[in-house]
Chain A
Amino acid sequence: MTSSAMPPVSPVPEPQAAAAAAPATGPVGTLLTERPPVAATSGPMIAIDGVSKWYGDFQVLTNCTTSVTKGEVVVVCGPSGSGKSTLIKCVNALEPFQKGQITVDGTQIANKKTNLPKLRSRVGMVFQHFELFPHLSITDNLSLAQRKVLGRSKDEAQAKGLALLERVGLKAHAHKFPGQLSGGQQQRVAIARALAMNPIVMLFDEPTSALDPEMVGEVLDVMVELAREGMTMMVVTHEMGFARKVANRVIFMDKGEIVEDAQKEEFFGSPRSERAQTFLSRILQH
């Protein structure tokens, strides 16, 4: 999968065992009930280093390098087809890449010895089309991976799921099925489903792009709250209002390359590249 240039396997410390072992239920005052404490001196949560990816002869990612530190909110934007969704899917190895490396919390994801299911269970992911499991009730959608991956008991998983449903304002819908909810509600459930795994980082792949305009706000509200609570987030989105509000950094991609990687103020104030300037002027016109 990766090039032969990958360095030899170094013993990686068992990542965040304490977080996984933390009690599943706790005070429900916040979305993140038992987030592991942020260690200020540790390395980046996500390190993307020289990643390239091809579909056959077509190169979709070219030498992408960036990182996300703990507690940081990074927004990835760019025109459609620029590779931003592909890049974020590489982070939890949903998409393979041919060159470079990605490290999540010290674990190299392209290393054949990495236990990918275990790593992925600690990386929350929210998809454009929600991808709730249509044959399961909302409660079961929230419980499934908690029970099958984390080994939590049925009661424990349901309590955790209900607490999170309450936080996203959907407790009354717990018994329903995904097909009975609106798009915005489904996406909020999807966020709760990811949070139920006590993730150390959350990835959002265009979470509001498939929503009717009047439902975008309710999903963004949940994401803003999450960001304010200190969740590490990588968000692919066109919602520049969200970026302005909570992002620390903005990454601009075009044609598979990271063209600009800047602090929020810098990006919106004076983007260096012409392509980012053009993109911003188009997207902020209205």
Chain B
Amino acid sequence: MNYNWNWGIFFEQSPEGTGSYADMLLSGLVWTIVTALCAWVIAFAVGSVIGVLRTLPSRAAQAIGNAYVELFRNIPLLVQMFLWYFVLPEMLPESWGTWLKQLPNAPFYTAVVCLGFFTASRVAEQVRAGIQALPRGQRMAGTALGLTTAQTYRYVLLPNAYRIILPPLTSEFLNNLKNTSVALTIGLLELTARARAMQEFSFQVFEAFTAATIIYIVINLLVVAVAGLIERRVAVPGR
């Protein structure tokens, strides 16, 4: 292979004129992290609500929860990105569509919403599984003490369910972080997009993607470490 290795490329000025190639990758990393965190806020909140809906006695609530999960987990994430970014503005009244398209950072907002709703369907499945893994008597005990259904979830079922599903929830967070790379297709300048730009400007494909790979691994290992800390922190004595 006739390849011209140049590890010093990271410190060379990028043609964008806003700093070195390293700065370019770092700015991509910032977008990746911000997108992942914002999407996770949506995913966790919506996912918890949908997961709870699927465990309520009400058939209607279950149906709504099921419909949400099946809709959002059975369409490829890439297709969902395109639907939100290219199709949705055309379906709305014209003035709204134009407003959406002219929004500054539109790829960012779209990626956050799309990824948030997509990941929510997966979080919902975990939350449902966690609640259903609890002994049936826990719900009965809360109910028998006079707690309302909402109070039973808030004070009894969810605190225990979240503890059970912390490991799979960590995996979902990692997926969520990695899935931000799909947003490069709608123009979000996140880490993978920046690595590709670096490759195109400098032709140093190996260096660019080696850097991206290492950055993803390091960030994800950090997430795993933090999740481990949380797990120890919320562990219940005597269990």
Contacting residues, chain B, for A180 (C-beta < 8 A): 237-238
The contact sample of 30 A-B pairs, CB cut-off 8 A, is: A92-B144, A94-B143, A117-B143, A117-B147, A118-B146, A120-B144, A120-B146, A121-B145, A125-B140, A125-B141, A127-B137, A127-B140, A131-B138, A133-B141, A133-B156, A133-B160, A134-B236, A135-B236, A144-B147, A144-B155, A145-B145, A145-B146, A149-B145, A149-B147, A149-B151, A176-B238, A177-B238, A177-B239, A179-B237, A181-B238
Scan residues 144-161 of chain A and give those whose CB is less than 8 A from a CB of chain B. 144-145, 148-150
Is B73 interfacial (CB 8 A cutoff)? no
Contacting residues, chain A, for B148 (C-beta < 8 A): 117
Chain A interface size, under 10 / 10 to 19 / 20 to 34 / 35 or more: 20 to 34
| Besides the known contacts A118-B146, A121-B146, 8 further A-B residue pairs in the complex with CB atoms under 8 A apart | A117-B147, A125-B140, A129-B135, A129-B137, A131-B135, A144-B145, A150-B146, A180-B237
Is B19 interfacial (CB 8 A cutoff)? no
Q: Is the interface of B mostly helix, strand, loop or mixed?
A: helix
Please give the distance in Å from B151's CB to the nearest CB on chain A.
5
Is B167 interfacial (CB 8 A cutoff)? no
**Is A127 in contact with B141, judged by CB distance below 8 angstroms?**
yes
Per-residue CB proximity of A183-200 to B under 8 Å, as 1/0?
Answer: 000000000011001000
Contacting residues, chain A, for B137 (C-beta < 8 A): 127-129, 131
Task: Identify which of A118, A178, A194 contacts B238 (C-beta below 8 A).
Answer: A178
Per-residue CB proximity of B135-179 to A under 8 Å, as 1/0?
Answer: 101101111111110010001100110010000000000000000
Tell me the nearest residue of chain B to A147, going by C-beta: B155
> B residues bordering A, Cβ < 8 Å?
135, 137-138, 140-148, 151, 155-156, 159-160, 163, 236-239
Most buried by A among B137, B141, B142, B147: B141
**Is B236 in contact with A179, judged by CB distance below 8 angstroms?**
yes
Within the assembled complex, what's the spacing in Å between the Cα atoms of A122 and B143?
12
**Is B138 in contact with A94, judged by CB distance below 8 angstroms?**
no
**Is A176 in contact with B237, judged by CB distance below 8 angstroms?**
yes
Within the assembled complex, what's the spacing in Å between the Cα atoms of A131 and B237?
16
Tell me the nearest residue of chain B to A180, going by C-beta: B238
**Is B145 in contact with A94, judged by CB distance below 8 angstroms?**
no
Please give the distance in Å from B36's CB to the nearest CB on chain A.
28
Tell me the nearest residue of chain B to A128, going by C-beta: B137
Tell me the nearest residue of chain A to B160, going by C-beta: A135
Please give the distance in Å from B234's CB to the nearest CB on chain A.
8
Within the assembled complex, what's the spacing in Å between the Cα atoms of A180 and B142?
21
**Is A179 in contact with B239, judged by CB distance below 8 angstroms?**
yes
**Is A149 in contact with B237, judged by CB distance below 8 angstroms?**
no
Is A231 interfacial (CB 8 A cutoff)? no
Contacting residues, chain B, for A120 (C-beta < 8 A): 143-146
Please give the distance in Å from A276's CB to the nearest CB on chain B.
29
Is A123 interfacial (CB 8 A cutoff)? yes
Within the assembled complex, what's the spacing in Å between the Cα atoms of A170 and B63?
46
Scan residues 99-119 of chain A and give those whose CB is less than 8 A from a CB of chain B. 117-119
**Is B239 in contact with A145, judged by CB distance below 8 angstroms?**
no
Contacting residues, chain A, for B147 (C-beta < 8 A): 117, 144-145, 148-149
Within the assembled complex, what's the spacing in Å between the Cα atoms of A197 and B145?
8
Please give the distance in Å from A165's CB to the nearest CB on chain B.
17
**Is B141 in contact with A135, judged by CB distance below 8 angstroms?**
no
Contacting residues, chain B, for A122 (C-beta < 8 A): 146
Pairs A-B, 6 closest by C-beta atoms:
A179-B238, A121-B146, A180-B238, A131-B141, A145-B145, A125-B144
Contacting residues, chain A, for B239 (C-beta < 8 A): 134, 177, 179
